[in-house]
Structure 1
Amino acid sequence: MSVASDINLKQVLRKLEYPVCAKESLTKIGELICGRITSIKNMDLALDLMSEFIFCEVDRRGNKKTNAISPLLELQLLEILFDYFTSATNESAKNTVFLSLFSGTTAVLRAGILSKLVSVAAGIPSPSILVSASTWMQQLGNTSIHSCKLAESLVTDYFALIPGNSRLKTLPEIAPQFVANFLTAVAEIYFMDHKKEPTFPPYNLLETITNFISSNSSLCIAAQQRQALLPPGAIAMEATTPIAGLFRWCILAPLYNQNSELYSQLHLALLDSLLEIPYTNPPKAVCAQHLAAPVRSIMMYFNELKKQNKSLNEIIEDAPLQKSLDRQAQAIQVSLSVRCVYGKVDDLLNHLQVLPYNKLMKIVIHTHKQIK
């Protein structure tokens, strides 16, 4: 498009009331960035249309608006976005537009609209939108701050505001890739020792996740089994599975006095999931560094016990400590035995050697040192 035609397009759109201008802009954006021939100029125009006519972030001169989009306009925008993405037939083009609307540079600014759109898509549900949301999470990183914020929003909508909500029960069947990426992101929110006060998952979230994985042993690797469809030339990012993150919950739960039986059930479901992982060369399901993550928290707990002037035998026999170490050893033994661990396995085994004595852990370390 020429400069004159760019200006004419914007002038035509400015004559339209909202939300008509947003709807027309969205269609035009799809043509600009998904055509056979794309250019930086087309992308720049598309970005301008998004800012002015869709999200109302700038005025006609390109100056940033001080006021956020009103609740009424936001509702209208959500309806337009929902209709557009659910009616799109070309998955690659749909994902391209979705990623452009909520790119890494604008994800914070547009996080509210994104989270509401995905929340509606999860509740209805809309597989089409959830596929694009899953692609977005992978491309930005499903453990990134953006993905974690989206996961937090969904937890608020479906597990905090509506305890016991059952509308998501069928989601793993409808959108397994999205659920897998959601689980990876949500695992990053809880049991994190770098926070002043570690937080724990709501009971009904823990229950839902346990049920999801118990009834579908391949769910955790779903996002790795189907590559995201992107425009030609784009590089699809590999998904991180939720396995190590959720194992961390189960391993650390006893140390934080989180004694729900659900952690035992989740731990067993994760072990079963590991046994179902198909062999790949190189392995890609579980990162060695992520498996080692609980060591820091276990050692913090161990050091707190030492400050209580207990004997070494009393400390070693501490029930929560031994339960935690047993679960860590089981997770590592099964992960290594099915050969699904990637990264520096030697470093993982070295990390484990600093842990307090645990019979099973000692066997695991010795066995894999011998194999090596």
Structure 2
Amino acid sequence: MALTDIKHSLRKFEFPVCAKEALIRIEQLLVSRVAPTNKQVDISMDIIAEFIFWEMDRRGNRRSTGLSPLQELQLIDIICDYLSTCANETTKNTIFLSLFGGQESQRRLKVLSILASMAVSASSTPVLLAVGVWLQQMGCSSPQSLQLAENIIRDHFFLNTSNQRVLKSLATTAPQFVSNFITAVTELYMHDEQGSNNMPPRNLLEVITSWVYTNPTLCMSAQLNAAALPNGAIPMAAVTPLAGLIHWCALAPLYVKDEADDKEESTKVKRIKLEHERELTVKPVRKPAREAEVYMMLQLGVLQSLRAARRPPGAPCAVSAQQLAALAPRLAAAACRVQPSPAALQLSNNVCALSLLKSKNIDDLMMVSLQDCLDRIGQAVQVALANGCVYGNISNLLAALDTLPENRLLRIIIKTHQQSI
């Protein structure tokens, strides 16, 4: 059927019915045993612009105003229904990438952000899996992917709401989406070389820690489950979030202030005086884990994930040597801001820390934190190398680590692996 005939038939319907009918026509044009022709792709793009996103009028001119907020919600409902009823993964991803792939306008990205946020709230697996494929094909560090991740974080992670149980379950229901989402998030929350604090929100940190700690293979989900793409599409390599998470854990001791230890206060039995001089005994409330403890738990989860990432020779590896090496300049810059005292140097050689901590010397405490950072990067690199998880130039990685301040664990790791190369 010619483009003019398709458009003529679709113009018989008002919005949003025309959008629903347009999805059917696009599927007929793009989904077949062979890759669609350029003409079929162009026709599909014209239909999407005029009848789905309301970007073009019938004469091909760009509309000054797009969909109203009500029409956006109607369109999102139609797309959700289509994706939920589509049994074929290739068909679903073909249509989804046709709608939102490429360098699209902010209008489409806005619709996609609302769609993804609603899918997170409803734990809609079909929609989230399609969003996960979109993230991978666009590149998890692309501006579009980062903007989508920011919108999801704004809607679900800034406030400590009661939906944590739903969020944590996504690692089981939509692991490919979660893996690619975490990769995008680790791009958003990094530290620049001037040492500015750009830590993730506490609620986001806790959910990601729960995801990674309880699912050792989660970070490799996008690698382990190849995306079902349209015929002729070029699959983009899946990038795991492990390198970004290693950055978070390694830098956390320098940027996260560990709250004062309130164990004594929390274990006291509170007594509240009532009006008639009676007393009500209140059981102590269990306090949430301190942020520093959450990062420790995340570090353990990352190490477990690196162990689970062991793959046969020739299989894709989980961590880039170049990404790990990029952490060295940041730690080196932090080291330049720390002037170690003799007491701190003794501590780095495993001398008892109690007297140093009681001294509350800021430089000494910073030196302790720096050594903690170096220990964490050493742990991650050792587990990754021992399990064959690292791809790229390992010699350059070891050379970058060799520029860092003295640390016993790092010295052993560098020496051991330099000999084996």
Q: TM-score range, shorter-chain basis?
A: over 0.9
1:221 corresponds in structure 2 to 220
Match of 1:32 in 2: 29
Aligned match of 2:268: none
Q: Which residue of 1 aligns with 2:288?
A: none
Q: State whether structure 2 residue 203 is matched by structure 1 residue 204.
A: yes
Distance 1:251 1:295, change over 3 A: same
- Shifted more, 310-319 versus 206-215: the winner is 310-319
Bigger mean CA offset, 192-201 vs 276-285: 192-201
Matched AA of 1:97: I
Residue 81 of structure 1 deviates from its aligned partner by: 0.5
8 Å contact 1:190–1:198 — kept in the other structure?
A: no
Paired residue type of 1:90: N
Aligned residue for 1:141? 139
Equivalence map 1:100-139=2 (5 Å): 100-106=98-104, 108-139=106-137
Structure 1 residue 296 and structure 2 residue 329: aligned?
Answer: yes
Q: Which moved more, 1:215-224 or 1:278-287?
A: 278-287
Q: Distance in 2 between matches of 1:70 and 1:59?
A: 15
1:18 equivalenced with 2:50 (yes/no): no
Q: Is 1:345 equivalent to 2:394 in the alignment?
A: yes
Q: Output one character per residue of 1:286-329: Cα deviation in whole Å (capped at 9) or x when no partner.
A: 110111222121122122225xxx66885876111111011011
In structure 1, the residue corresponding to 2:228 is in which secondary structure?
coil
Q: 1:274 aligns with which of 306, 319, 325?
A: 306
How big is the shift at 1:265? 0.5
Residue type of the alignment partner of 1:181: N
Compared CA separation, residues 361 and 194, structure 1 to 2 (3 A): closer
Offset, 1:162 = 5.3
Deviations 1:56-111 (A, max 9, x none): 11222222222232101101000011001111111101101111111122164411
CA offsets 1:2-57 (integer angstroms, 9 cap, x no match): xxx32132133223211011111111111111134521111111101111111111
Equivalent residues in 2 for 1:45-124 (5 A)?
45-106=43-104, 108-124=106-122
Deviations 1:333-367 (A, max 9, x none): 11001111000101100101111111111111111
Matched pairs, number: 366
Q: Against the structure 1 CA distance between its residues 194 and 311, is the aligned structure 2 distance closer, same or farther, given a 3 Å change threshold?
A: closer
Task: Provide the rounded CA distance (Å) in 1 between the counterparts of 2:201 and 2:370.
Answer: 23
Give the alignment partner of residue 305 of structure 1, picking from 331, 335, 338.
338
Task: Report if the CA contact (8 A) 2:136-2:238 is conserved.
Answer: yes
Percent identity for Structure 1 against Structure 2? 44
Structure 1 counterpart of 2:210, one-letter code: N
Tell me the SS of whatever aligns to 1:160. Answer: coil
CA contact (8 A) 1:34 1:96 kept: yes
In structure 1, what is the Cα distance between the partners aligned to 2:418 and 2:256? 33
2: CA distance between counterparts of 1:295 and 1:288?
A: 12
Aligned mate of 1:364, from 407, 413, 418: 413
* Pair 1:94–1:322, CA change in 2 (3 A): same
Question: Alpha-carbon deviation of 1:257?
Answer: 3.1
For residues 109 and 8 of structure 1, the distance between their equivalents in structure 2, rounded to whole angstroms, comes to 27
- Which structure: larger Rg? 2
**CA–CA distance in 2 between the matches of 1:201 and 1:268?**
18
Call closer, same or farther: CA 1:262–1:196 in 2, change over 3 Å.
Answer: closer
Contact 1:288 1:345 in 2 (8 A): yes
Q: Is the 8 A contact 2:186 2:241 kept in 1?
A: yes
Give the letter aligned to residue 176 of structure 1.
P
Contact 2:317 2:388 in 1 (8 A): no
Q: Decide which of 385, 389, 410 is 1:336's aligned counterpart.
A: 385
Contact 1:275–1:334 at 8 Å: present in 2 too?
yes
**2: CA distance, partners of 1:301 / 1:80:** 51
Please say if residues 138 and 238 of structure 1, whose CA atoms lie closer than 8 Å, have aligned partners that are also in contact. Answer: yes
Q: TM-score, normalised by structure 2?
A: 0.82
Secondary structure of 1:279's aligned partner: coil
Distance 2:404 2:343 in 1: 15
Question: Over the residues paired in the alignment, what is the CA RMSD in angstroms?
Answer: 2.0
Q: Is the 1:164–1:204 Cα contact (8 Å) retained in structure 2?
A: no
Give distance in 2, aligned partners of 1:107 and 1:364: 48
Please give the alpha-carbon distance, in whole angstroms, between the structure 1 residues aligned to 2:369 and 2:162. 29
Q: Which amino acid aligns with 2:298?
A: L
